[in-house]
């Protein structure tokens, strides 16, 4: 009910307080060891994954995620892309307990409080219904979540550089893992990588160039194909990307397309 001032005039109704979570309540170490035995629950196979519980507004449609943000951090990319592709399901994968809980709480709050206008297509659910997160070790269990050729975009944004040589085996881009990425990515799908560490950029770029099922695609070409919004989000939507900008650092982007026939 509107309140009345002492002079009898009505005041505007109070706006509901935001339910968005605060990062300060989700303290977490910057990195987690992917080789440790974490207490994780994961599906035995993609066909037993209950996606309806993650995307209840899409329940019964048979839709599965098409975009996957690996090591999604605080979910900046997911939140930026969700309104751009309201009918595309997106999944973040994050191994850290508190960080993944923050993203889950953030999505829940956005679904509840968003006042964005409804989509012109009445078959598309409301804002942020198309994003979700799982706490998962993607280096071990990614094939448990995604069937063959189910994804159209894979994102690796500012991954842990693992500077020491003995730690390079923990980098998220490697020949073994690229085979898994090629399996779940449909032909024509794009791998997006970005980092502020030039050595890591060269590492990821070289491994992707040498893998026979990927070919490089330039930023200019992707923008011509209408993927400029995605690229802008890749550059600037994450916590790490914003930190690099504040520190006037450089960012190195490398994108690759999944091809149908292996290169000779």
Binding residues for S-adenosyl-L-methionine: 71, 94-95, 137-138, 157, 238-240
For CA atoms 219, 220, 221, 227, give the dihedral sign: positive
Distance from the first to the final alpha carbon of the chain: 71
Tokens matching residue 158: 């500012």
Q: Bridge partners of 253?
A: 194
Strands 185-195, 151-157: pairing is parallel
Q: How far apart are CA 200 and CA 171, in angstroms?
A: 9
Known active-site residue 69? no
The residue length of the chain stands at: 264
Q: How far apart are CA 206 and CA 200, in angstroms?
A: 10
What lies within 8 Å, CB to CB, of 3 at 6+ separation is: 10, 11, 13, 14
The residue from 7, 37, 160, 232 that is catalytic is 160
Edge-first strand listing for the sheet containing 151-157:
131-135, 90-94, 67-70, 151-157, 185-195, 252-258, 214-217
Ordered DSSP codes for 220-248: HHHHHTT-HHHHHHHHHSSHHHHHHHHTT
Q: Residues marked as binding?
A: 71, 94-95, 137-138, 157, 238-240
User: Any idea which residues carry the catalytic annotation?
Assistant: 160
């Amino acid at each position: 009910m509107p309140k009345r001032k002492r002079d009898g005039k009505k005041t505007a109704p109070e706006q509901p307080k935001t339910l968005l979570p605060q990062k300060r309540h989700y303290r977490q170490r910057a990195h987690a060891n992917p080789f440790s035995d974490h207490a994780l629950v994961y599906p035995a196979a993609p066909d037993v994954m209950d996606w309806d519980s993650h995307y209840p507004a899409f329940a019964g449609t048979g839709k599965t995620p098409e975009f996957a943000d690996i090591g999604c951090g605080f979910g900046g990319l997911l939140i930026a892309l969700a309104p751009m592709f309201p009918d595309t399901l997106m999944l973040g994968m994050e191994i850290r307990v508190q960080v993944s809980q923050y993203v889950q709480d953030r999505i829940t709050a956005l679904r509840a409080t968003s006042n964005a206008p409804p989509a012109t297509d009445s078959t598309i659910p409301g804002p942020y219904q198309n994003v979700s997160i799982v706490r998962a070790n993607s280096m071990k269990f990614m094939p448990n979540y995604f069937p063959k050729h189910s994804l159209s975009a894979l994102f690796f944004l500012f991954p842990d550089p693992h500077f020491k040589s003995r730690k390079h085996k923990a980098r998220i881009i490697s020949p073994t893992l690229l085979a898994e990425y090629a399996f779940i990515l449909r032909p024509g799908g794009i791998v997006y990588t970005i980092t502020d560490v030039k050595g890591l950029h060269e590492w990821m770029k070289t491994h992707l160039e040498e893998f026979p099922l990927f070919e490089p695609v330039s930023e200019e070409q992707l923008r011509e194909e209408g993927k400029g919004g995605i690229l802008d989000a890749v550059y600037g939507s994450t916590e790490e990307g914003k930190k690099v900008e504040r520190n006037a650092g450089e960012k190195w982007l490398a994108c690759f397309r999944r091809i149908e026939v292996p290169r000779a």
